[in-house]
Amino acid sequence: MTQTTVHANANICQHLHSAAQSMPTKLAVAVQQSKNGKLTYQEIDFKTLHQQSDIIAKGLLQYGISRGKKAVLMVTPSIEFFSLTFGLFKAGIIPILVDPGMGIKNLKQCFAESQPDVFIGIPKAHIARRILGWGKGSVKQVINVGGSGLQRWLTNATHLETIIEIGSRNTHIHDMAMLENDDMAAILFTSGSTGTPKGVVYSHGMFEAQISALKNDYGIKPGERDLATFPLFSLFGPALGMASIVPDMDASKPITANPANLFAAIEQYQCSNMFVNPALLERLGQAGEQTQHKLSSIQRVISAGAPATISAIKRFSKMLNPNVQVLNSYGATESLPVSMIGSDALFNTSDLTDQGKGICVGKPISSVEISIIAITDDPIENWDSITPLAANHIGEIVVKGPMVSQSYYRRMQATQYAKINDINVYRHRMGDVGYLDDDGQLWMCGRKGHIVDAKRGEQRLKRYFTIPCERVFNTHPQVKRSALVGVDVAGHTVPVICIELHKDLVCSNANVLYQELTKLAEQHPHTQGINRFLIHPDFPVDVRHNAKIFREKLAVWAQAKWRE
């Protein structure tokens, strides 16, 4: 199945090559390091990054890692990370990128599915590989990056310096691997926050489409500087002619970041752009409020990964110059970005969100088509068998566009359930539900798998959607957040709202709170019938976004509480 053509031949590194020619001495990457309370920065310009990645590409190929091989890349954000990643792309070697925050069990599953030929990592990753058997049976070559002494010895791996030395001995200009748009460029494993992680196959055409969106829809221009807090997004910087400024933080756990480090990096390089997820947006906003900090150089803020709260965006926006927008992006690893809405427009929809209309995630970006279809758990083979729903009807969100992935790696069943054949491309079922309003804006109503159908036996009485229901209860002053789950009561499925209270508030009388929440439910047709509530001390959430609630875990907890 072929993807929509963007270029006849493609490689993301073509953009790096262009930047190396047009702005050779301009900053490409700066990596912040914090030691003993002092901040230092490693820097590399576009010409040097291009040359170093060329040398690494030649070294990898001469070392015997041929084009089309798959290489796990577990390297912390660093100059070496950028040089290696672009070197792999130039050589036509397929990087496998995984989120180290997804847990040991999921990591092992990722490597078992992807069957990597090569394992490239820091000493810590190699030691874990040897102890836990990551890639056992498929990995033939191992390359270590960084470390010293005992650490390097324990990796039992060839060191990156050796690869660079091999590549340096070849004085010929490296010919970048030119591939077709639908050729596999990388495998990206999703976080698995709603299930087992799946490897998303990225083509060169997908990368090109994402670069085009960042240029045309987000307005990013060559010469900008970006505070890069997410490793994958940071790779787009050099491809856009934009410097990536990498702060000293754990990208897999942004909630632990030191705001002072990030503010210092922005000030040092006068960053114009920054990418933040909701957890980091919240943390930086709180820190900025306490110190009255201003981000005077920032012209654009991009937030993605999960919906950020209105209060968090407003708090963060106090640090920005007037008219600077926080651009909230909707999408997923399988298709990003899909739609976008600026913070000013989002604020205008907040009252409707609190009434349970869902979260407005804006209009589709150029080249993306959004459709809403009837909700079903069955696979859908062909798009021509589908009649999309009319405006203002909640259904399953389906997207089509050049940045939409066409398959999961070696997961035929998952691909079958997530993709719909539309002549010469596949549309992607986002796994979310929502609707398009009369103006063509998309409103998100939650995950399809989190829908609660109230049932009497097998008879469905009413359908409840997470975001429309939860946002109503979140308006109560004592409620920090809420989560809709289904509980079995005497053979019937009933909706239950789990409540997490604000930390500084103590609920002196739970029954009074429950009565007030029941009255709230009765005021809206989509929450009527909800009259069961449980207070939970601290919701289980994903470590990266600190916003994606693990409702599956809450459902198990709520069921156990109901039986007590």
Q: Specify the pLDDT at position 156.
A: 79
Tell me which of 169, 188, 212 is where a domain ends. Answer: 212
- Phi/psi for 13 (5° steps) reads -75, -10
Q: Specify the pLDDT at position 510.
A: 86
Residue with tokens 């986002």: 430
Q: Which residues of 537-552 are buried (b: 16+ CB within 10 A; e: fewer)?
A: eebebbbbbbbbbbbe
How many folded domains does the chain comprise?
2
Q: Specify the pLDDT at position 507.
A: 72
DSSP string, 108-128: HHHHHHH--SEEEE-HHHHHH
pLDDT tens column, 351-401: 999 999 999 999 999 999 999 999 999 999 999 999 999 999 999 999 999
Instruction: Kindly tell me the burial class for residue 40, based on how many C-beta atoms sit within 10 Å of its own C-beta (0-12, 13-18, 19 or more).
Output: exposed
* Residue 308 in domain: no
Rounded to whole angstroms, the Cα distance separating 106 from 137 reads 18
CATH number at residue 483: 3.30.300.30
Nearest to 25, CA basis, from 265, 243, 264, 269: 243
What Rg, from alpha-carbon coordinates, does the chain have?
24
Instruction: Kindly tell me the burial class for residue 130, based on how many C-beta atoms sit within 10 Å of its own C-beta (0-12, 13-18, 19 or more).
Output: middle
* Residue 313 in domain: no
Residue with tokens 């009837």: 374
* Residue 106 in domain: yes
Q: Specify the pLDDT at position 564.
A: 67
CATH number at residue 110: 3.40.50.980
* Residue 432 in domain: no
Domain range for 500: 451-563
* Residue 22 in domain: yes
Q: Output the pTM of the full model.
A: 0.93
Q: Specify the pLDDT at position 416.
A: 97
Tell me which of 212, 231, 261 is where a domain ends. Answer: 212
* Residue 274 in domain: no
Tell me which of 155, 187, 212 is where a domain ends. Answer: 212
Ranges of the chain whose pLDDT falls below 50: 1-8
Tell me the two tokens of residue 321.
Answer: 């110059």
* Residue 93 in domain: yes
* Residue 235 in domain: no
Contact assessment for residue 106 and residue 128, using Cβ atoms and an 8 Å cutoff: no
